[in-house]
Amino acid sequence: MTTPSIDDIRLDIWKQLEQRDQKEHAFHDVISSNQRLQQQLSQLLKRLRNESPTLPSSKTTSVEKENLELRIRELKEERADFFKLQSENAQRLVLMNDQLRVKEDTDAKQKQELTQLTEKASKLSSKCELQIEQLREKDITIQILQDELSALQLEITTTEERNQQLTKENLQLVQRWMEKMNSEAEKMNEATQFYETALHQAARQRQSTSKSKSSSTTTDHHQNKLLKTSTIVLPNHPYRTLSSTHDGDLYCIQASHTGKYFATGSEDRKIKLYDTTKSIASPMSTLSGALQSITSIDFNASDEFLVASSTDHSTRVWNLATKRIVHTLTGHIGKVYAAKYVPADSNRVVTGSHDRTLKVWDLNKGWCVRTIFSFSSCNDVCLLDPDGQTLVSGHLDNTLRVWDSKSGNGIKDLNGIHTDQITSVCVSPDGSSVLTNSRDNTLKIVDLRMYEVTHSFKAPTYQNGLNWSRACYSPDGCYVAAGSRDGSIHIWNTRNSQLERHMKGDHNSIISGVAWNPLGTDLYSAEKGPKTVCLWDTSIEQRSSTSPSSSSPSSYAK
């Protein structure tokens, strides 16, 4: 049913008013005739009064008297008729006044309804204009989605073709791998034979000079020292607990690539930077400039710059020498959850966002050089190779995705690894596998050469408490560490998938992330709520110089 316009309403009211006027003027002729008759009666009575005294009573003849009486009788009858007509007209006038009052009441109601209808029509017009604008915006959105769908269909077709090609290449790689393993087995046999020959030669050279013995002793000591420093010993207690100077919850923690720094990011929009070579009772400096919470942190290879993502839809780069922002990367339309430097190129950064895109940024140009579209929000991203050609991302739809950053095409989608969203991804030290952490309370190691899960880690006491909870590898790749909802740190052995450590320290609530110093000397853990950071000593020197029987955290202090 269509709403009548204002002009139609006015025309209808005008016609009703004309009909009312016609009904009221229907009695106009009767009233005019009544008035004329009254005037004539008044004139006749006046004439009669004027003529009667002039007639001589003594001289009036009988004929004239009869005529006068007849005339008077007629006038009386005519007057009676006039009175009767006047009475009828008065009754009609009363009825017409009643009708006029009813019409006026009806007119007032109609005017009130007209005012209400006018206001309603104005509101409906405004609502109609708003709906027209919304329809226009939806048409634009539909067009954008159609364009994106076309692009995704093209991408799916390209991905299927690439998948077929990769299947063929995979068969070839398996064949080459088998050939290589056979070749290595032959080399091992040759090496064993060579070793046996060398043992015989060593037996004949036992009587060597003292200089040769001294040189051999020095070489062995150097090798043992390297082995000692590269060995990681798991702790039981933190050697130091830092009360965070942040004003909000801790969201992330990360160690630099040289091991000199580690930093924490918070809900208070600030980053606290700590220098591990000095006293770390308090942060070395504070980096500010973000408009909302900090979600992830990463350092470049030389520790000259720091990049951090934020929920204000942007990513920022700080110069650690000047403590100032040098780049602000905007382009995402959703919260940015992950940002990573390309290890071999400090001028490129990769980001992952809630808007279902990954972006590659050129810091020399200051803008995005590649946008990769995904089917789900990205929670974390990592790089498999130093030049950043291959990216791995963990998503809200439980899927691990592998991308070619140069072409923007997907290499592999690994579904079914987890039953809930993936909260973090971390590449192994040798670059052959990726560690995933999930809200299904499990961690997985995925071999990206065969695209298979090689290890799975879980424990009855482990619960992932955040959608961005970060897990990490140890520098030697022998262990993986993750923080639980109850504040405990879990460390598993990557060789046998066994839980090696379940330690709590001074944490009492959700762990937002853990980070291992690349030198293997420390493990850092950040607690979300009470905003505390625990430092765990994993170096063999510290463990060997500390009494293992002591259970106090202070016994592990440096």
On the question of pLDDT at 356 being above 80, the answer is yes
pLDDT tens for 450-491 read 999 999 999 999 999 899 999 999 999 999 999 999 999 999
Q: Is the pLDDT of residue 555 over 50?
A: no
Cα gap 313→311, rounded to integer Å: 5
CA atoms within 13 Å, Cβ hemisphere of 161: 6
Arch. (CATH architecture) of 235-548: 7 Propeller (2.130)
pLDDT tens sequence across 128-174: 999 999 999 999 989 889 888 888 888 898 888 888 888 888 888 88
Average pLDDT (390-409) is 93
What whole-number percentage of the chain has pLDDT above 70? 86
Name the DSSP class of 470.
B
| 374 HSE (CA, 13 A, CB side) | 33
Is 514:482 a contact under the CB 8 Å cutoff?
yes
Position 551 scores a pLDDT of 32
> Looking at 111-115, 157-161, 499-503, 552-556, which range is the least confident one?
552-556
Q: Could you tell me which of 190, 171, 168 has the C-alpha nearest to residue 179?
A: 171
Using CA atoms, how far residue 116 sits from 6, 107, 110, 124, 139, in Å, is 12, 14, 10, 12, 34
Closest to 338 measured CA to CA, from 377, 389, 371: 377
Mean pLDDT on 399-408: 93
Task: Give the pLDDT confidence score for residue 2 in this predicted structure.
Answer: 66
pLDDT of residue 281: 67
Residue 219 structure tokens = 């070489």
Q: How confident is the model at residue 63 (pLDDT cuts 50, 70, 90)?
A: confident
Q: Copy the structure tokens of residue 340.
A: 């990573």
CB of 252 closer than 8 Å to CB of 265: yes
Write down the pLDDT at residue 161: 87
What are 401's two structure tokens? 């995705």
3-state helix, strand, coil in the chain (%, to 5): 40, 30, 30
How far apart CA 396 and CA 389 sit, in angstroms, is 23
Residue-level pLDDT at 50: 76
Question: Between the CA of residue 362 and those of 263, 316, 350, 542, what are the distances in Å?
Answer: 24, 13, 9, 42
**Alpha-carbon dihedral of residues 109, 111, 117, 118, nearest 10 degrees?**
-160
553 pLDDT band, cuts 50/70/90, is very low
Q: Is 97 helix (H, G, I), strand (E, B) or coil?
A: helix
> 40: pLDDT confidence band, cut at 50, 70 and 90?
confident
Tell me the pLDDT band of 204, cut-offs 50, 70 and 90.
Answer: low
Q: Please give the full DSSP string across 484-544, using - where no structure is assigned.
A: -TTS-EEEEETTT--EEEEE-TT--S-EEEEEE-TTSSEEEEEESSS-EEEEEE-BHHHHH
Rounded average pLDDT over 78-88: 86
- Record the pTM: 0.58
- How far are the Cα atoms of 406, 416, 441, 460 from residue 464, in angstroms, in the given order? 34, 18, 5, 12
Sequence-ordered list of residues with C-beta below 8 angstroms from that of 527, at least 6 positions apart, any chain = 250, 483, 487, 507, 508, 509, 510, 511, 512, 533, 534
Across 338-360, average pLDDT: 94
Beta bridge partners of 371: 359
Determine the residue type at 266: S
> Strand, helix or coil at 237?
coil
- Going by C-beta distance under 8 Å and a sequence separation of 6 or more, which residues neighbour residue 493? 478, 479, 499, 500
| Mean predicted lDDT score pLDDT of the chain | 84
Parallel/antiparallel/unpaired status of strands 511-516 and 522-527: antiparallel
List the chain domain ranges: 7-41+69-146, 235-548
Determine the 3-state secondary structure of 59 from DSSP: coil
- The pair of structure tokens assigned to 402 is 């592998």
Cβ proximity of 280 and 292 under 8 Å = no
